[in-house]
A and B are shown apart, each in its own frame.
Chain A
Amino acid sequence: MFIQDDYFYAFELVKSCDLLNSVELQDNMIVSITAAIVGAFSAYLFNFFHWRKETKLIKKNELLKSAYNHILEMENISIDYWTVDTASANKNVITKQEIKIKCLIRILIKYPRLFPNSFDKKDFENMVDDLYELCTGGDFESSKRKKCDKTALNISLLCAEIRLNLTKIIFNT
């Protein structure tokens, strides 16, 4: 019984080896292995480019959100600054607001260089130019500065427009 089983096993083994040696099977195996390698490589490439694009998009959105927040900060400080006379306000508060406004201008002028090329940098630059003139023009840093609601309103309108543009870009990407 045992001898018969061994014989059968050996026979099957030899048959398998014959099959393995057959040219057709070898071709099939090469095709299968190649297909598997190509498939795995394609999946790797897809993942690589997909995540690279995804990471780029996330970074771009973070940058736009950061610009959005800085514009919002500029709006709030500038409105506080332009709705009070310098003479009637606390000198330390006014000095801090002036420093913060100048600091925010330095930050905002950096953005166009950081934005991707697809972004309309010129539009943003022009708006920041206008914002700079509104926020730091007139009697800015002057001891005789009077409050000016119109300037505050114009700053608020311009900031809202810039934020709207940034939001549009965030949602379109």
Chain B
Amino acid sequence: MAIFNIGKEFSQDPSGRYYTDGPGSGEEFREDYLVPKINQLSENEILEIIIDDEVEAYGSSFISEGFAGAVKYGYFTADFLLNKIKIKYKNPDYSFFEKRIFSHIKKAAYNSAVYRSTKKNNE
């Protein structure tokens, strides 16, 4: 089982939607962390994502872009993604964010948009 600690390995203040919004955006999370880490997993392996370590809160825009974006841009189907990740937290408040993450993933339409990186547009 692979473990990914958002607060320690990605950002203590995950915020915003696109690369252009600054470091710690949902797009950066998806493109540079979530998708590569899931692609590296073996067939029966699961990615455990720790969401409450040094992170105070997540906006819906971040969750939508970071998690649901992986389905929307056709990287994974919703079922595949839901089976490959496990959200971990110690603080019971974070069950709210877990539910929002799963809700966004379930609602996302698979491969319904073409991804254009805002990082490339900026360069």
Report, as a range, how many residues of chain B touch the other chain: 20 to 34
The A76-110 residues at the B interface (CB cut-off 8 A) are: 98, 102-103, 105-106, 109-110
Which B residue sits closest to A125, measured CB to CB? Answer: B96
Asked whether, in the complex, the Cβ of A137 is within 8 Å of the Cβ of B64, the reply is yes
Interface residues of B (CB under 8 A from A): 15-18, 20-22, 56-57, 59-62, 64, 92-93, 96, 99-100, 103
Say how far B73's CB is from chain A's closest CB, in angstroms.
Answer: 18
B16 contact from A106, A110, A113, A142, Cβ within 8 A: A142
Contact present for A136 and B59 (CB under 8 Å)? yes
Closest Cβ of chain B to A104, distance in Å, is 10
Q: How far is the CB of B118 from chain A (nearest CB, A)?
A: 9
Chain A: residues with Cβ within 8 Å of the partner, total of 21
Q: Are B100 and A132 in contact (CB under 8 A)?
A: yes
Closest to A95 in B: B15
Residue of B nearest to A107 (CB): B93
A98-B15, A139-B17, A141-B17 given; A113·B92 CB < 8 A: yes
Closest to B14 in A: A141
Give the chain A neighbours of B59 by CB distance below 8 A: 98, 102, 136-137, 140-141
Q: List 28 A-B contacts (CB under 8 A).
A: A98-B15, A102-B59, A103-B56, A106-B56, A109-B96, A113-B92, A129-B99, A129-B103, A132-B96, A136-B59, A136-B60, A136-B61, A137-B60, A137-B61, A137-B64, A139-B17, A139-B61, A140-B59, A140-B60, A140-B61, A141-B16, A141-B17, A141-B21, A141-B59, A142-B20, A142-B21, A143-B21, A144-B18
